[in-house]
Amino acid sequence: MNKFLFVTAPLAMACVVLAQTTPNASSATPSGAPPTQPAAAPTDATAKDSTSNQQNRGGNRQGGRGFGMGGGGMGGGIGRSLGAVTEMREQFQPYLVKRDVPLIKEQLKLDDGQVSVVETFVTDYDTNFTAASDKASQAQQDLMRSMFQSFMGGNMRERYQSFGENMQKDIEQIEKDSGTEMSPEQRSQYFRDQMDKMSQQIAAERETSGEAAETRRIVGEMNAGSEKWRKERAVLDRQVMDEIKTALQTDQATKWESFERFMRREKLLGRGRLSGENVNLFMVIDEAGLTKDQITLVTPTLDEYELRLDEALKKRSDFLGQNESKVFTAIQNSDAKAIEILATKGIDLRNGVRNVNEQYRTAIAGVLPVDEAKRFTQAALASGFARVYRPTRAERAFEKAVAIEGLTSEIQTAITEMRAAMLLELVAMNEKIAQTIRKGEPARLQEEAVRSAGLLNGGASRMFGRNDPDIADEMLSKRGDMTDKYVERLKSLLTTEQIAMLPKGTSRDDGRNQGPFGSWTISDMPEENRAMAKAVDKDGNGIIEGDERRELFRSMRPADAGGNGGGNGGANGGGQTGGNSGGRQRGGNQGAAAPANTGG
């Protein structure tokens, strides 16, 4: 049994309680902004005016990337919850930073004088916000430390450590007495049963000693502090937006509602928790290489998508922001039922955002020519379900193989036919895996919310959840077995030198939650860890494989930590013009300005 798990879990879950119950302090877009009216139809005059040139609506954020640790890390339940620490950081991140000024200039068509004024507004806001958020953040951190001390006081560390060691001995004795090895399911059930007993004992002791009451008091203070900060930042966020609006000319002011919708997508869309929830179809369109005529075809559908997506984002964000006090109160009262109800509502609203994306993915594809529709659909699916739809090692191997010079026509034909057969199987398996993820993720999110409440009630077993295997991981492994067979057949057609040109590794890794940051694919890692990964990606293919993985782990050791700092900001800086946008900015607008895809 992993000693580290038992010693660190209470602190991690204390972070989760704060993070998951204050999911998005700025989620009112920004806080205090007037709510957007529900869109009745895409013929809204403001929307039509703003969408005459759809290419400018993509923005800078990388849509659809799910960062954070997945279900395979650190004991399943704990690993999934650790990713929520990012949410805790997000509530203390500013709505605007200086790097947003070029984006604001482009969207509102500002002249140089207006840019100088707006930059002053944003700089003053950033300064004031940083001072206020640092103070509020420090207060919450102090409360979290107090909570950790409440959980780990006395001999609690030793008890958790002893529990793990005794569990292993008990299982070994049971297997010895029965003469049979326990299955993983039996081990998991035995663990939960013993953890439940220990949890009940600890809960009773905490009530008697007054530690439970102290925890509830701390949660109450966290609630009050969170609500105070939410209102404070609402004023700051609203003020800077109002100031920017005062700098506009009459013709620019007519674009204001469209600009606010754009900023909501830019700042809030990436805070999803479900696969497909974060997708920005404007960015997918921008990168699809469509002609002007094709863009004209999809513009009416995109107009409607803009309004419907904004409505769904507002509903999701408003609910999460306005109900955080209810969530804190439910946790303070150890009311798991109330937590479950609130979690269900929040998940329904997250599904609402995802459903809009899926509905309009289909609608947009329906008006495009066949080849462009296929390319767009694949890109949209890869954006929302990267684990499933990003290119596999086998696909990359066949792509590399067909480009090898000097192959005979017979070998080329055999490779082409083999590739087509593999893709036929792959498409069917991918659809099943994506459906499994669609159904499974909401239940996991709800489980995490209830587990957080159980922890504060002394229910230590709940912090580990059921620790069930990730069914999608199992399906992805089977998919990897299938594609590996095709790769082996491919290798049988090639020479040793040609085989050396193919991607290394195993297809069983494709899409699975793994590695220290939840994935071996650099683009799916948390933003702050990508520079470290890029430094060891010797072949530059964006995936950490083979010896690169060992090098990554070596770079993470404390002795080497000094060489890994810095560089993150620079890695995301710079910009370039791309796609059909005729000047749509790319790069340099992540970091604090565009929080990662968790939270509200």
DSSP 246-285: HT--HHHHTTHHHHHHHHHHHHHGGG--STTTS--HHHHH
What pLDDT digit, counting tens, does each position of 357-376 carry? 999 999 999 999 999 999 99
User: From CA 370, how far away is CA 373, in angstroms rounded?
Assistant: 5
Tally of CB atoms within 10 A around 429: 16
pTM of the model: 0.70
**Which element (helix H / strand E) includes 577?**
strand 576-577
Query: Please, which pLDDT band fits residue 197 given cuts at 50, 70 and 90?
Result: confident
User: From CA 95, how far away is CA 82, in angstroms rounded?
Assistant: 24
What is the pLDDT at residue 433? Answer: 95
432 Cβ neighbours under 8 A, 6+ residues apart? 475
| Residue 4 clears pLDDT 70, i.e. is over it | no
User: From CA 299, how far away is CA 54, in angstroms rounded?
Assistant: 7
- Find the mean pLDDT for residues 516-537: 71
What long-range pairs does 524-527 form, CB within 8 A, spacing at least 24?
524/65, 524/66, 524/67, 524/386, 524/387, 525/67, 526/67, 526/68, 526/86, 526/596, 527/67, 527/568, 527/572, 527/590, 527/591, 527/596
What is the pLDDT at residue 147? Answer: 79
Comparing CA positions, the residue from 595, 511, 73, 39 lying closest to residue 314 is: 39
Q: Within 521-593, where are the H helices?
A: 530-536, 547-555, 568-572
Of 190-194, 348-352, 407-411, 537-541, where does mean pLDDT reach its minimum?
537-541
Would you say how long the chain is, in residues? 600
What's 502's DSSP letter? S
| Residue 46 clears pLDDT 60, i.e. is over it | no
- Find the mean pLDDT for residues 282-307: 93
User: From CA 524, how far away is CA 521, in angstroms rounded?
Assistant: 6
User: From CA 264, how far away is CA 285, in angstroms rounded?
Assistant: 18
Q: Given the structure tokens 């590794």, which residue do they identify?
A: 505
Q: Which range is most confident: 192-206, 408-422, 513-527?
A: 408-422
Query: Please, which pLDDT band fits residue 44 given cuts at 50, 70 and 90?
Result: very low
- Find the mean pLDDT for residues 130-138: 93
As a whole number, the mean pLDDT across the chain is 75
Domain coordinates of the chain in residue numbers? Answer: 3-593
What is the pLDDT at residue 271? Answer: 85
User: From CA 115, how far away is CA 388, in angstroms rounded?
Assistant: 42
| Residue 597 clears pLDDT 70, i.e. is over it | no
- Find the mean pLDDT for residues 556-573: 41
Higher pLDDT, 314 or 579: 314
| Residue 436 clears pLDDT 90, i.e. is over it | yes
| Residue 134 clears pLDDT 80, i.e. is over it | yes
- Find the mean pLDDT for residues 218-225: 87
| Residue 18 clears pLDDT 70, i.e. is over it | no
Tally of CB atoms within 10 A around 468: 14
User: From CA 36, how far away is CA 79, in angstroms rounded?
Assistant: 36
What is the pLDDT at residue 518? Answer: 55
What is the pLDDT at residue 556? Answer: 66
